[in-house]
Structure 1
Amino acid sequence: MKQKEQPVDKVWRRYLRTRSVKDRNELVVRYGQLVHTHAARLSKKLPAQVSYDEICSAAFDGLIEAVEAYNPEHKAKFETFCQQRINGAVMDWLRGLDPQSRTVRTFEKKRLGIRERMDAETGRPPTHEEVARRMGVTQDRYDHLCRLSQLGKEVHFSAMEPQKERNGRGPSRSWDIGDRRGDDPATGISREMLTEYITRGLSREERLVLVLYYYEELTMSEIGMVLKLSESRVSQIHKDILQRLRHRFGHTLTEELVA
């Protein structure tokens, strides 16, 4: 027979008293949906190279830290407290993927600014030696930071073409290959315009329910966690919205929303 799950408040009291790893892990499992909700939203905004599972892994590190650091005496709800920890852990992980330090980024920004000013002053592109002198750094230091600034940068395939092909007027070798699996940008713009039109006149809460359900593809339970509402309340809001919109737009509404 399956053992009945203990109330989360009881697990919290026991963990705060004993600090056992077993109770901590049970709390992490109980609040795991917060991680998946956060990762689902974030994965839609990040490049395809950053996978959903990788975001979840970093987010779970933040959730573990949140459980270990939480103090209920501060009167903050754990769900609110842990969101900052989860987000911070994911941001720290993403920053770790960036090969360039702040020093390199500052150097590159200053270098490009000086190059533009010297180009305007002299009417020609300045040499590396001239830029280094204007920046007040040694040539070795300048060359070293230039090399670091190129690390991790994307190189377009067109840069691999012979110089005469790139500068000529004739047809050049085409490296731009369309991704048939990719989304058409026009589709995204059309959906945004459609969403704006359909949700006109709705409250902010009602707009969020529609967007999170149809476009972000969250469940009613996940939407409730985001908006701090019960699942039944979210379902009722969704039902009320559809009834009002069907009265305005007819029975094609659902097809438009999921198109």
Structure 2
Amino acid sequence: MTIEEIWDRYKSTNNIEFKQKLIEEYVYLVKIVAGRLYNYYNGNIEFDDLLSYGVFGLIDAIEKFDINRGLKFETYAQIRIRGAIIDNLRKLDWIPRSLRKKAKALEEVVRELENNLGRTVTYKDVAKKLNIDQKEVEELFKEISIYNIVSLEDIFASGNDIVFRDSYDTPEGQFEKKEIKSIIRETIDKLPEKEKLVISLYYYDELTYKEISEILGVSQSRISQLHSKALTSIKSKLKHIGILS
């Protein structure tokens, strides 16, 4: 029986056996998503926990997937899996308050500088504004990288799409989705070249920090800094126009 036939049987009968076959067929997607996210948590979260959260996302994706819409299930499922993992991490509230405070303060500085300068800010800009050494700024971006990734996952997902929301099924929702995609692309295009490349390699080519570091010839720590700074700029732009609160 082909995977297409299994999908047809499951959607027409809702038989648990066909659902189980689909879970077994696509469980590898959970391992991929959980593995990529695990890189950022520095031992704060058990990998098995991420897998468990991800399986719930996969099941949700299988139940809600419309085989008649012409979407690729693998793309849809990875977004649902990632969303389930992030939702559960948010409930755990494992990110220290001090880190959240630093991240929000830095976002405010970046947003203020970008509004005043009319361009993407540099480490030097932030260092001058905060009256600290540039190395301290780079370390700060590295420190908040986990928070940035977790908080931005709601709207910025891997692949070529934004997170699926139930409201996107409406004409108004589809328009909103296109607008958000357009704004994010425009914001990415204005990033410094290295930051733009990191975002592209990570989200679109789905490479790991290690693979990106080998391509760019810099340390994984440096990739983390560039990624964090790029996400801070993107979040600043989205907050400025009201997409993020």
User: 1 or 2 for the larger relative contact order (CA 8 Å, sep ≥6)?
Assistant: 2
Decide which structure has the larger Cα Rg and report it: 1
- What TM-score do the two structures reach when normalised by structure 2? 0.40
Q: TM (normalized to structure 1)? A: 0.38
More helix by share: 2
